[in-house]
């Protein structure tokens, strides 16, 4: 049976429970700087497969992005950091910019949808950092919604969409909503804008002046 944490302030007991759920292969929902996300251990193949099923997405079509708490955690996830990626990270991280890298060999194929690439975001959102700290590693951050439905901005919307299918909802209050994270593929030269979101093209061009987005 899924449970919801108490209201806006996230207690230490709730954070510890979130860590327990993720380490046990479960699914949590938690607030980010844009929408609520669905979190599982990205290295747990069964948990990632369950995440796809919850979303109603095919593991063959859409990779799942991953949230990290520090640059150090990139080492376990990516095999290459291009100069463009380095500049974008320095300018825009932490923040709502998802960068696509070549995935490390250890990253499960189901997480990358067989693309060999992985989207990663370093978030400064307090609850995200708290959850990642208690888990002690990366966490998936795909938006909390069924495919084709709008992403959730409150714990109540998550519960309405998923009910007990999510093991724990970390209620950190309403999220800002609005635009999703911007997504940039740094595995190609020049980098490719996959989705313009919170971080505008003008910001990206200021970081990479020679880049025609």
Q: Give the chain's domain count.
A: 1
Domain range for 92 is: 3-207
Mean pLDDT of the 125-133 span: 93
- With a cut of 80, say whether residue 4 has pLDDT above it: no
Tell me whether residue 206 is exposed, middle or buried, using C-beta atoms within 10 angstroms of its C-beta: 0 to 12, 13 to 18, 19 or more: exposed
pLDDT of residue 201: 92
**Is residue 168 in some structural domain?**
yes
**Is residue 213 in some structural domain?**
no
pLDDT of residue 135: 93
pLDDT of residue 46: 96
Provide the percentage of residues in the chain whose pLDDT is more than 70.
Answer: 94
**Is residue 212 in some structural domain?**
no
pLDDT of residue 121: 97
Question: Domain containing 59 — which CATH number?
Answer: 3.90.870.10
Tens of pLDDT, residues 40-95: 999 999 999 999 999 988 776 788 999 999 999 999 999 999 999 999 999 999 99
Question: Cα(148)–Cα(194) distance, rounded to whole angstroms?
Answer: 19
Comparing 62 with 28, the larger pLDDT belongs to 28
> pTM for the full model?
0.92
pLDDT of residue 7: 39
Work out the pLDDT band at 194, boundaries 50, 70, 90: very high
**Is residue 152 in some structural domain?**
yes
In 10 A of CB 62, how many CB atoms?
14
**Is residue 111 in some structural domain?**
yes
**Is residue 114 in some structural domain?**
yes
- With a cut of 90, say whether residue 128 has pLDDT above it: yes
Tens of pLDDT, residues 113-125: 989 999 999 998 9
pLDDT of residue 213: 60
Question: Cα(42)–Cα(24) distance, rounded to whole angstroms?
Answer: 12
Tens of pLDDT, residues 157-192: 999 999 999 999 999 999 998 888 999 999 999 999
- Residue 29's DSSP bridge partners are 38, 169
């Amino acid at each position: 049976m899924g449970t919801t944490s108490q209201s806006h302030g996230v207690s230490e007991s709730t954070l510890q429970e979130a860590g327990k759920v993720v380490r046990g292969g479960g699914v949590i929902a938690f607030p980010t700087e844009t929408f609520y996300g669905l979190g599982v251990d990205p290295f747990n193949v069964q948990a990632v497969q369950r995440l796809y099923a919850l979303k109603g997405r095919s593991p063959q079509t859409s990779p799942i992005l991953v949230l990290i708490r520090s640059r150090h955690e990139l080492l376990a996830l990516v095999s290459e950091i291009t100069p463009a990626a380095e500049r974008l990270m320095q300018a825009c991280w932490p923040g709502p910019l998802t960068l696509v890298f070549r995935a490390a060999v250890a990253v499960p194929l189901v997480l990358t949808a067989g693309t060999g690439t992985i989207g990663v975001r370093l978030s400064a959102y307090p609850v995200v950092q708290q959850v990642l700290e208690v888990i002690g590693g990366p966490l998936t951050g795909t938006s909390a919604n069924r495919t084709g439905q709008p992403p959730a901005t409150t714990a109540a919307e998550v519960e309405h969409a998923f009910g007990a299918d999510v093991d724990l909802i970390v209620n950190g209050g309403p999220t800002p909503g609005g635009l999703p994270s911007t997504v940039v593929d740094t595995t190609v030269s020049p980098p490719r804008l996959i989705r313009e979101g919170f971080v505008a093209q003008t910001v990206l061009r200021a970081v990479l002046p020679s880049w025609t987005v």
